[in-house]
C-alpha cells in the first residue's frame, strides 16, 4: 500500500481500531459498522470515519467495514505485516517485567535483545531473550537495523542512553524513564510515566 501521510494522533487511534478489529476477528465477526467500531474504540463515529478516510472510500453503506480487510490495511499502514524488531535497554525490575510480557508479538513487535549494565542479574530474573552488556548497544542496533527501542534506565542515565540509541539509528523510543528526553525532531518519543498516571487517577478518587 502506498505510504499515507497520517497525523500522529490518528496513528494512535488506528492502533486502537486495529486492536478492536482483532477481537472481532477472533470472535469470527466478518463485518462491523462504523458506529459499533467507534463505540468499541471509545471515539465518535464521525472521528472514526475521518480517520478511515485516509484509506480512500472504504466500506459499504448498510453493511459496514469488512473486518479482516480493514485490519490488514491498518497493519500495512502501521508497518505490522511483519514483526518489527525492538531492543530494550535497562533490564531491571520494570524492564524484566516487560520482557516477560507475551503480548508484544501479538501486536506485531518482537523484542530481540535487551541491554543492561549487569546482564547476569537480568538472566537471574528469568529473562529468556539474549541480554547483552550496555556497551554493545551501538554495534547491535546498527548491525540489526533496529528502529524501535524501549528505555527503562534510571533518570540519570536516560538522556545519555537515548543519545546513543539515536546515533545508532533508533527512530522511535518508548520511554519508561521519568525524564523528558531531548531528541532530534525526526525521532518520536512516547513517554510512559507510571507515577504521573497514578497521580492523575488519584484526582478522581475521593
90-102 pLDDT per residue, tens? 999 999 999 988 8
Mean pLDDT, range 128-135, rounded to an integer: 93
Cα–Cα separations (whole angstroms), residue 3 to 6, 76, 92, 147: 9, 9, 38, 18
Number of neighbours of residue 80 by Cβ within 10 angstroms: 17
Of 79-88, 123-132, 149-158, the one with minimum mean pLDDT is: 79-88
Percent of the chain with pLDDT over 90: 43
The mean pLDDT of the chain is: 87
Question: 114 to each of 37, 41, 94, 95, 153, how far by Cα in Å?
Answer: 36, 32, 12, 9, 12
Is residue 182 scored above 50 in pLDDT? yes
Provide the β-strand partners of residue 89: 115, 151
Taking residue 156's Cβ as centre, other Cβ atoms within 10 Å add up to 9
pLDDT digits (tens, 9 = 90+) for 39-56: 998 889 899 988 888 777
Cα 77 to Cα 12, 13, 32, 52, 133, distances in angstroms: 12, 12, 20, 11, 34
Grid coordinates belonging to 137: 548497544
Higher pLDDT, 89 or 123: 89
State how beta strands 84-89 and 172-175 pair: unpaired
Q: How would residue 116 be classed by pLDDT, with cut points 50, 70 and 90?
A: very high
Amino acid at each position: 500500500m502506498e505510504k499515507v501521510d497520517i497525523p500522529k494522533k490518528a496513528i494512535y487511534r488506528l492502533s486502537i481500531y486495529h486492536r478492536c478489529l482483532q477481537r472481532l476477528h477472533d470472535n469470527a465477526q466478518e463485518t462491523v459498522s462504523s458506529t459499533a467500531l467507534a463505540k468499541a474504540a471509545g471515539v465518535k463515529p464521525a472521528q472514526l470515519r475521518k480517520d478511515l478516510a485516509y484509506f480512500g472510500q472504504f466500506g459499504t453503506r448498510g453493511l459496514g467495514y469488512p473486518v479482516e480487510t480493514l485490519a490488514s490495511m491498518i497493519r500495512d499502514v502501521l508497518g505490522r505485516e511483519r514483526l518489527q524488531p525492538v531492543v530494550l535497554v535497562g533490564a531491571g525490575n520494570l524492564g524484566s517485567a516487560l520482557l516477560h510480557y507475551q503480548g508484544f508479538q501479538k501486536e506485531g513487535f518482537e523484542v530481540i535483545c535487551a541491554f543492561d549494565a549487569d546482564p547476569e542479574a537480568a538472566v537471574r530474573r528469568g529473562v529468556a531473550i539474549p541480554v547483552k552488556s550496555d556497551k554493545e548497544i551501538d554495534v547491535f542496533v546498527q548491525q540489526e537495523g533496529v528502529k524501535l527501542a524501549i528505555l527503562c534506565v534510571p533518570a540519570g542515565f536516560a538522556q545519555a542512553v537515548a543519545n546513543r540509541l539515536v546515533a545508532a539509528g533508533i527512530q522511535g523510543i518508548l520511554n519508561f524513564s521519568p525524564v523528558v528526553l531531548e531528541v532530534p525532531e525526526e525521532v518520536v518519543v512516547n513517554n510512559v510515566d507510571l507515577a504521573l498516571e497514578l497521580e492523575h487517577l488519584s484526582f478522581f478518587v475521593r
